[in-house]
């Protein structure tokens, strides 16, 4: 029984330790953690976003602006019923340069 008592006391001490740490952190010792995250945000996160933006910009410069060749695959661009807007054949955010209709691109003068 004595061993069980010692075990329960040691367990209570280990459970009580984080509570003391949290209460100590609530009294102003989080300044170092706040400073660390602020530095990480400016030194790691913002340059990371900048590198991603540069990568996107450079890929856009080398991207071909030509329309892909239209191949009338039967399983693509199926219209089981018309769209509820416009002429019923164009999607809501239709781009005539990129999105083909079931019969082909609207602007076939580029081919």
List of domains in the chain: 84-111 (4.10.95.10)
Distance (Å, whole) CA 37 – CA 45:
10
Distance (Å, whole) CA 105 – CA 111:
10
Write b or e for each residue in 22-42: b if 16 or more Cβ atoms lie within 10 A of its Cβ, otherwise e: eeeeeeeeeeeeeeeeeeeee
Show pLDDT as tens, one digit a residue, over the chain (111 residues): 677 667 667 656 655 555 555 555 555 557 888 999 999 999 999 999 999 999 999 998 888 777 888 898 889 888 889 999 988 889 899 988 888 898 889 875 544
**Contact of 91 with 77, CB cutoff 8 Å:** no
**Threshold 0.85, pTM exceeds:** no
Record the tokens describing residue 26, joined without a space: 């609530």
């Amino acid at each position: 029984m004595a061993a069980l008592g010692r075990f329960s006391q040691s367990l209570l001490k280990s459970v009580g330790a984080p509570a003391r740490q949290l209460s100590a952190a609530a009294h102003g010792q989080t300044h170092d953690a706040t400073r660390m995250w602020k530095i990480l945000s400016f030194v790691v996160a913002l340059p990371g976003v900048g590198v991603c933006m540069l990568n996107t910009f450079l890929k856009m410069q080398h991207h071909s602006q030509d329309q892909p060749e239209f191949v009338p695959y039967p399983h693509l661009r199926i219209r089981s019923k018309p769209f509820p807007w416009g002429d019923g054949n164009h999607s809501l955010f239709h781009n005539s340069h990129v999105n083909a209709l079931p019969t082909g691109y609207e602007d076939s003068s580029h081919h």
